[in-house]
Structure 1
Amino acid sequence: MSFGTRSGRPGFFDRAKTGWALTKDSAGVIRDHPNLLVFPLIAGVASAAFLVVLFVPMLIANLIGSGLEYVALFVVYFATTFVSTYAAAALVHATNEAFHGREPNVIASLKTVRSRLGPIVVWSLISATISVVLKTMEDSDNPIAGILRSLFAVGWSIMTFFIVPVIVFEDVSVTSMFSKSASAFRDTWGETLGAGFGITLVVTLVGIVLAIGAIAVSVPVAAVFPGPGILLALLLLGGVIAFAYLLSQTIWGVAKTALYVYAVEGHRPAEFDNFDFETLGGRTEESASPGTAGSRDTLDL
């Protein structure tokens, strides 16, 4: 890990600084286009619906055992991964529309992503399989299996961090899907970590402010009507948690899209004046090439 810039490349703290700028500019995009928050909302609601529908089959499978519980888990993992990936892909497309001066439309983006249905299904199948494998390792009494699971889970998260932008922007095979995602993370790891710190800070601050507001509204009500006041507080705090989740997921989607737009087009989105893409030193351009459809055609879905 490099903490300096003697090699001519940005060090960790330089990358963290640009990652923070990436977070602020991503939040600015959401401020200008709040409908982007709808995509993680769709993913969350759809995933919750699948869990409700599949709850009884999962319960029965757990009672029967004999490995059937893992089959049920696979179905759950596949369904939730599919809907979350589909919504995330639509978010990436809508964000790219905003970057190119077009007003993002939720319905249009959801329809456009249908063309990427094949890669999304393949990714969902692979992800569900890996999740089941990790679950079996977690259930194992072997301590070595637990260590291997933790190491593999970290590596898997890194390798698939940019999987959604890859699916949206490039025509790739199954193997290149993962290699391009891992390559993008390797070449932007500092900015990604910096953005992670920034997103955590921004979402935490927003959540604290909203939570204080929720309590301020609920306390006077609870003083007069204790039951309804407590219920109101719980509902408002639940809303704060949900909004914080939507905000963090949307910021991540916007940030990943910004990095990939620059990688494929070499073009700085106008919304990211505070982010110095030049500090990437061409690293993303070297690692992320457009798919067979061509960079402009692939981006302007």
Structure 2
Amino acid sequence: MTYPGDQPPHPGTPPRQQPAAAHPFGDHGGLDGPVKGRDLLRSCWSLLKSDRELLLLPVMAAVGGAIAMAIFFVPGVLVMVSHGSEGAAKGWIYAGAIIGGFVASAIAIFFQAALVFGANERADGGDPTVGSTVRAAWGKIGKILGWAALTTVVGSLIRAVQERAGFLGGLIGFLGGVAWSIATFLAVPVVVAENAGPVEAVKRSSALIRQTWGLGLRSTLRWGLIQLAFMVVPVLALFGGFALISRGGAAVGLGIALTALALVALVVLSIAFAAVGQYARAMLYRYATGRPVPGLDPRLLAGAFAPKKDKGRFA
């Protein structure tokens, strides 16, 4: 099957990039020294700031997901508290977790797709808004629900293996989770750009990664570690706030203020990383399919994955 924007590169060779014309993003290239994962995040953040209203999309996803889990999961917890943890109560918990997880996943993927639409529209010279991206994502709602169902099933299977097979199950689950994360790294952009179903999206995402970056890969995009580094200070502030509150007296007011500021900082950081991470995936998809990626140095995208035997470090 032929996909739009396909280039037939040799395995492991990045597709030829089209020359980028002048663009509202401007130029964020000019890298000196080794390419690092945080450089891609920094550049994508600079691009995303051109459409700051799109940061509302991960906020909507977080609120919607929390509401979904509260509606479907909390009733099961209440049944367990009032009737014990046996029999029907466990059934309520499991059913609520599965249904709530699916709905929360569908909501998250919906707004991820909306952000990908926005990134593509901006890269193609348009001017995306929250309304335009949400309408575009709604046009793919069937595919989005299918992808959410598949991710919920796979996630549940991985957790079941980890919980029921001891140490070996934990190891298998971890390796399976890593393999699934890499194989599906570009799945949402594939669904958006190619109207692919869930299974086709996995195959296409995996094929794009193999064709563009090669086989036997490890991701150099250590976004989790970068996010953790940013969150160290707010987490320490959160514990400091709790400590001040527990002391009582005049320190309580300061503790409440410190705790509130820390929580706000953690929420803001989570939203920012969710947005820039999905934006970067959209740009990586464009790179892998030979579409222009204005405002980004191609070396940032070429270094997103590296052979496992490569001892070079990308942070």
TM-score, normalised with respect to structure 2: 0.70
**Aligned 8 A contact 1:165 1:257 in 2:** yes
**Aligned 8 A contact 1:16 1:194 in 2:** no
**Aligned 8 A contact 1:85 1:120 in 2:** yes
CA distance in 1, matches of 2:275, 2:217: 17
Residue equivalent to 2:43: 25
Is residue 2:142 matched to residue 1:118? yes
CA distance in 2, matches of 1:238, 1:65: 33
CA distance in 1, matches of 2:71, 2:163: 25
Q: Which runs of 5+ in 2 are unaligned?
A: 1-10, 15-31, 240-246, 304-315
**Aligned 8 A contact 1:50 1:76 in 2:** yes
The alpha carbon displacement at 1:183 in A equals: 2.4
Residue by residue over 1:210-233, the C-alpha shift from the partner in whole angstroms, topping out at 9 and shown as x without a partner, is 889999xxxxxx9x9522211111
Specify the code of the residue in structure 2 equivalent to 1:56.
Answer: V
**Aligned 8 A contact 2:189 2:282 in 1:** yes
Q: Which of 66, 84, 87 is residue 48 of structure 1 equivalent to?
A: 66
Residue equivalent to 1:276: 299
Specify the code of the residue in structure 2 equivalent to 1:196.
Answer: R
**Aligned 8 A contact 1:18 1:191 in 2:** no
**Aligned 8 A contact 1:19 1:195 in 2:** yes
Is residue 2:106 matched to residue 1:88? no
Residue equivalent to 1:145: 169
Specify the code of the residue in structure 2 equivalent to 1:78.
Answer: F
Residue equivalent to 2:264: 239
CA distance in 2, matches of 1:123, 1:104: 24
Residue equivalent to 1:193: 219
Three-state SS of the structure 1 residue aligned to 2:73 is helix
CA distance in 2, matches of 1:29, 1:191: 27
Residue equivalent to 1:71: 95
Q: 1:251 to 1:51 in 2, by over 3 A?
A: same
Q: 1:226 to 1:262 in 2, by over 3 A?
A: same
Residue by residue over 1:154-186, the C-alpha shift from the partner in whole angstroms, topping out at 9 and shown as x without a partner, is 222222221111110113244321111122334
Q: Give the alignment's Cα RMSD to 1 decimal.
A: 3.9
**Aligned 8 A contact 1:167 1:177 in 2:** yes
Question: Percent same amino acid among aligned pairs?
Answer: 20
**Aligned 8 A contact 1:18 1:276 in 2:** no
Q: 1:36 to 1:208 in 2, by over 3 A?
A: farther
Is residue 2:279 matched to residue 1:254? yes
**Aligned 8 A contact 2:13 2:213 in 1:** no
Q: Which of 183, 189, 199 is residue 165 of structure 1 equivalent to?
A: 189
Three-state SS of the structure 2 residue aligned to 1:33 is helix
TM-score, normalised with respect to structure 1: 0.73
Q: Which of 286, 289, 296 is residue 264 of structure 1 equivalent to?
A: 289
CA distance in 1, matches of 2:220, 2:201: 24
**Aligned 8 A contact 1:268 1:277 in 2:** no
Specify the code of the residue in structure 2 equivalent to 1:179.
Answer: K
Specify the code of the residue in structure 1 equivalent to 2:51.
Answer: H
Q: 1:188 to 1:232 in 2, by over 3 A?
A: farther
The worse-fitting range, judged by mean Cα deviation, of 140-149 and 252-261 is 140-149
CA distance in 1, matches of 2:154, 2:89: 20
Is residue 2:57 matched to residue 1:39? yes
Q: 1:18 to 1:145 in 2, by over 3 A?
A: closer
The alpha carbon displacement at 1:234 in A equals: 0.5
